[in-house]
Structure 1
Amino acid sequence: MSASNTDPLAYEIAPPSIPCFPMDQWYVAALGWELKDQPLGRTLLNRPVVLFRTADGTVAALEDRCCHRALPLSNGTLEERGVRCGYHGLLFNSEGECLEIPGQEKIPSKARVPAYHVHEQDQIVWIWFGSETHPEPTCEPPVYDVHSSGKYLFDGDVYHYDAPYQLIHDNLMDLSHLGYVHLRTIGGNASIHMNAQMKVEDNGEMVRVVRHMPDSVPPPTYNAAYPFKGNVDRWQEIEFHISHLRIWTGAVDVNTEALDDPDRGGFHMRGFHGVTPETETTSHYFWTIATNPKSDPETVKAKVVEQTMLTFDEDKVVIEAQYRNMCRFGALPMIDIHVDAGANRARRIIEQLRRSIR
């Protein structure tokens, strides 16, 4: 199904000889606070995985299938030494080795399940599946010190989408839709959004989109969270990486600070968006939102998180309806407009990476 009449491969499912997803990457598997006292089952890049914490708090990831009778290990329980299958009680450690078979002393050498590389950093859990060429990680997971610097308060959640993951990328790369989809929260004047000054650049691995909206009316969420005096100079900075996006939005009182000053003040919303394919047609969306309250910090944080969740609820409705309609109408061409520049560059990067893996 074509994304435009100039990019015919954009929405197609990969042929069998080409991986569906860029594999040699760290992908988001969970938010740290999801892993508590129960194993968590989740399908990531078509692989059923069980995630859990060991006794010392370290995160582990195994194939979600007991090697005895195939019950998902996520249906089991956690113990000090690992995860115990909920069918016949086989106990597996974080390396996938079977440590115990109740009622049987000898443990067969084949009694083990595959383990995956997983790493928790800045309260984000990353997983590496790799490829035949790079089964071991070739780099460290991304750092996201917005969560650990102490400068911001944040929270987040996980959404499941009945839509391909690149449609979520498209949505996040194009914030012009805010004026139409998010009128009650972070939207603002639709005309200003569509005509915002926009700069797009990429380096072959990352795409950066910067949009400025000077002298604009602050949207409802901004006014609810920050004591602006009137109109504001507003910015949107989007960084696309293969497995996640970082979006910094905010505003200052009009004509008070330069929008290209990295240390500018005012109201900030820093969003982390981990977009991980579940399958070719379904996705996981891990998000957090961080802000810098000027007063009454917990109340303001709660308001920003609540408003953000409302916007993502609205996005989910739009994206899933969009995909249903794409399936309904089939491979009809779609045009591009000026706001698609960032999303199209992101799609080209992913396509190049997919085709480079054999």
Structure 2
Amino acid sequence: MNTSACQTLAVEISEPALPGFPLNQWYVAALGWELKDKPIGRTLLNKPVVLFRKTNGEVAALEDRCCHRALPLSNGTLEESGIRCGYHGLVFDALGKCIEIPGQDKIPSKAKVPAYHVREQDQIVWIWFGSEAQPEPSCEPPTYPVHSNGKYLFDGNVYHYNAPYQLIHDNLMDLSHLGYVHLRTIGGNASIHMNARMTVESKGDIVRVVRHMPDSVPPPTYTAAYPFKGTVDRWQEIEFHVSHLRIWTGAVNAGTDALDDPDRGGFHMRGFHGVTPETETTSHYFWTIATNPESDPEAIKARVVEQTVMTFDEDKIIIEAQFQNMCRFGAKPMIDIHVDAGANRARRIIEQLRQSTF
């Protein structure tokens, strides 16, 4: 695959006016349990960043480059006072200031590296990418009570995609593909998915898609995790934010609970999807899945996570193959169908924000 052609194509497809990404936003940088006793190096929005946890438990983020001889600081080690470069042993604190040079008492004032604003909230690590006009955070990072309210069990992981981040948005905003891509897990009848009652609403920078599939046959993941008695009333609620999506799916026994009741029972899957650009053509996908087992909670949680991983593996194959084919054929026009309404609104929001911060 021609990398240069793909980079050009990504700009034409997902970023027609300007390079770059929406700024003045909190983006997902890591899941809390990733940061233990070693630093993690990641490229986020084209910026090489090293993430690490301090001895007091707080998270820090610096530019991933030692100011001495440019070794990635992620190649170094963590100590009580900060992160030590793995080349000549310089130590940097959480603000990026060099606080020790082995064998040298005087530390030059220029011996520092840029630091990023970073917060950990509900076991999600957020990093602020601001514009030149707004380098300081203008708000606190998003909360995600599903991880902390005690109603659900959850787990998650990270994927790396060789595809632009907005193709992942498109996939998550349009769950009609479940009946074709995920037949072994969360799919079900493809015709029911394509003809589901759907509403699309937007308010500010948020897009909400709601799909209902009453009196449908529960898919394999659902029957493996919950004792349904027959057909079910299914729902899919997708909430798009610039830096992440929240997807609430599930089902109740047909005719038992109203699908617009926020306290409805049945089987729940609540997904967090932090989609962070790495570059114009690659992405990080931080995900968690939460569920509400009625019995044998750890076994059911493990089963739901296993099934979720299977679906995400299937999505990754589709999205990366899609992008490879876009590179192969160039910027040929693509038609829209009814299921694209939510994804198209999300793309318009991304473009408006991108232009407003450059």
The letter for the 1-side match of 2:35 is L
Deviations 1:126-164 (A, max 9, x none): 000200111000111000000000000000000000000
Which residue of structure 1 lines up, in the alignment, with residue 275 of structure 2? Answer: 275
Check the 8 A contact 1:94/1:115 in 2, yes or no.
Answer: yes
Distance in 2 between residues matched to 1:172 and 1:277, nearest whole Å = 15
Check the 8 A contact 1:19/1:355 in 2, yes or no.
Answer: no
> Secondary structure of the residue that 1:11 maps to in structure 2?
helix
Distance in 1 between residues matched to 2:280 and 2:226, nearest whole Å = 41
Which residue of structure 1 lines up, in the alignment, with residue 57 of structure 2? Answer: 57
Structure 2, unmatched stretches of 5+, are: 1-9
Which residue of structure 2 lines up, in the alignment, with residue 4 of structure 1? Answer: none
Mapping 1:76-225, distance limit 5 Å: 76-225=76-225
Distance in 2 between residues matched to 1:346 and 1:301, nearest whole Å = 31
Distance in 2 between residues matched to 1:350 and 1:245, nearest whole Å = 13
Distance in 1 between residues matched to 2:153 and 2:266, nearest whole Å = 15
Q: Closer, same or farther in 2 for the Cα pair 1:254/1:12, shift >3 Å? A: closer
Check the 8 A contact 2:52/2:59 in 1, yes or no.
Answer: yes
> Secondary structure of the residue that 1:323 maps to in structure 2?
helix
Q: Closer, same or farther in 2 for the Cα pair 1:320/1:108, shift >3 Å? A: same
Check the 8 A contact 2:247/2:272 in 1, yes or no.
Answer: yes
> Secondary structure of the residue that 1:108 maps to in structure 2?
coil
Check the 8 A contact 1:83/1:91 in 2, yes or no.
Answer: yes
Q: Once superposed, which parts of structure 1, at least 4 consecutive aligned residues long, lie more than 2 Å away? A: 12-15
Check the 8 A contact 2:13/2:331 in 1, yes or no.
Answer: no
Check the 8 A contact 1:267/1:291 in 2, yes or no.
Answer: yes
> Secondary structure of the residue that 2:143 maps to in structure 1?
coil
Distance in 1 between residues matched to 2:319 and 2:331, nearest whole Å = 17
**RMSD between superposed Cα atoms in Å:** 1.1
Distance in 2 between residues matched to 1:129 and 1:92, nearest whole Å = 21
Distance in 1 between residues matched to 2:317 and 2:89, nearest whole Å = 42
> Secondary structure of the residue that 1:38 maps to in structure 2?
coil
* 1:19 CA displacement: 4.5
Deviations 1:266-287 (A, max 9, x none): 0000000000000000000000
Distance in 1 between residues matched to 2:101 and 2:119, nearest whole Å = 28
Check the 8 A contact 1:10/1:347 in 2, yes or no.
Answer: no
Q: Is residue 68 of structure 2 the alignment partner of residue 68 of structure 1?
A: yes
Distance in 1 between residues matched to 2:193 and 2:29, nearest whole Å = 33
Deviations 1:229-287 (A, max 9, x none): 00000000000000000000000000000000000000000000000000000000000
The letter for the 1-side match of 2:13 is Y
Q: Paired residues, what number?
A: 349
| Higher share in helix | 2
Distance in 1 between residues matched to 2:135 and 2:236, nearest whole Å = 37
Distance in 1 between residues matched to 2:276 and 2:12, nearest whole Å = 17
Distance in 2 between residues matched to 1:53 and 1:82, nearest whole Å = 9
Q: Is residue 262 of structure 2 the alignment partner of residue 259 of structure 1?
A: no
* 1:20 CA displacement: 1.4
Distance in 1 between residues matched to 2:294 and 2:41, nearest whole Å = 39
* TM-score, structure 2 as length reference: 0.96
Mapping 1:293-312, distance limit 5 Å: 293-312=293-312
Which residue of structure 2 lines up, in the alignment, with residue 288 of structure 1? Answer: 288
* 1:10 CA displacement: 7.1
